[in-house]
Structure 1
Amino acid sequence: MSVRYPNGKVYQASISGNKSESEKKNSYSNRGMTLEEDLNATNTYYLERQIAVIHKKPTPVQIVKVDYPSRSAAVIREAYFKQASTTDYNGIYKGRYIDFEAKETKNNTSFPLQNFHQHQIDHMQQVLTQDGICFVILCFTALEEIYYLDASHLLGFWHRHLNGGRKSVTKQEVQEVGFIIPLGYQARINYISIIDRLYFNGN
């Protein structure tokens, strides 16, 4: 099946998208889990314990070609994204709007800014302008390290790039302004603990 963006470009699945079983086994920490699956499990944990309501945003798709190999089955052959996606997740926590993007890289020393798109950057700026809590979760898969990076810092790195600066964020920069998120058992990626520290005095 081919899925296309609004501009007609064929969609290529990102690292955090659906993977084959063999690819999953080689994903970070070799636990057969993707970053997306761990975040979804974390959000389910938050929801079930009434900690926060955070969901992955659905991506609206327009189906344009369907084959019917049998009367009881339909196979989608071609579809288009109706609009460019913004960020991966949003919701509410302690009365504050939460909005974030999750990305992975196999690079050990830097995070390529090409993983982000201008419309996502614009969306993050709009959320910050409305006093929402906006951030990105960056996963260095080979190092098995996950970081919380406030969107305001990402915007700074993005504008540096637009002004002729480096096309990536060094891992050292991520460590200096971000926060590492240890992998847990129940809340696998407990990003709420970082939000508590930054916005709610650790409570």
Structure 2
Amino acid sequence: MTIRYPNGKKYVPVQKSGLQKKVDLSFSNRGKSLEDELNETNEFYLSRGVAVIHKKPVPIQIVNVNYPARSAAVITEAYFRTPSTTDFNGVWQGKYIDFEAKETKSATSFPLQNIHDHQVEHMKSVSQQGGVVFFIVKFTSLDRYFIVPYDSFEKYWERMNTGGRKSITLIEFEAMAIEILPSFNPRLDYLKAVSLIITTPYNATERQEEV
């Protein structure tokens, strides 16, 4: 099936890498993407009445459909109706939650080319309205997860747009982000880290042991 963006450009999906585990918490987590892990975590939150957070559906306009059999239909071409914004949103303790989930195979930095201008504009607008906006970034080869508040991310985005480095280094993540340690259930208790963002300004180095 061919899927195209609103401007007609062909959509090429990003290949997701496998996981290299430091600690084998569960055989069921092997090979799962960050999106899968977050979906499972959100289901845990929902079942326990903690939060209502879901993956946003992707709006697609179907253009061509083939019917190889009477009882079967195959979509052969489709377009994104509108540019995507962020991956997840919902409500937690009366606060609007909106975030983007990204993975990188690199063990040293996260490339900013994986993020689009319209996504940053959306996150900026939500932040200005008082929403809780952030990135969850997974270094797949290291099996390390970080939450990056939008306010912290913004300066690195501006650095790139003014001719600077086009990535955020792992060392910079360790200094300005909150690392999430995976557990059994929920897999990624990211709301515990988000609570630190909401309550008070934090020092990432001092608070790593709290998450």
Please give the TM-score of this superposition, normalised by the length of structure 1. Answer: 0.92
Contact residue 181 and residue 191 of structure 1 kept, 8 A: yes
2 CA distance for matches of 1:181 and 1:197? 12
Q: CA offsets, 1:143-198, max 9 Å, x none? A: 11010000111111101110111000111111111011011111111110011223
2 CA distance for matches of 1:28 and 1:167? 26
Contact residue 28 and residue 34 of structure 1 kept, 8 A: no
Equivalent residue number for residue 83 of structure 1: 82
- Does 2:27 correspond to 1:27? no
Q: CA offsets, 1:2-36, max 9 Å, x none? A: 100101111111245xxxxxx6xx33537121111
Equivalent residue number for residue 172 of structure 1: 171
Within a 5 Å distance, the mapping from 1:1-203 to structure 2 comes to: 1-15=1-15, 26-29=18-21, 31-200=30-199
Contact residue 52 and residue 92 of structure 1 kept, 8 A: yes
Q: CA RMSD in A?
A: 1.5
Gaps of 5+ in 1: 17-22
Contact residue 135 and residue 151 of structure 1 kept, 8 A: yes
Please give the TM-score of this superposition, normalised by the length of structure 2. Answer: 0.88
Q: SS where residue 147 of structure 2 aligns?
A: strand
**Matched AA of 1:70:** A
Q: SS where residue 55 of structure 1 aligns?
A: strand
Q: Report the count of equivalent residues.
A: 194
1 CA distance for matches of 2:20 and 2:44? 21
- CA displacement at 1:137 relative to structure 2: 0.4
**Matched AA of 1:13:** P
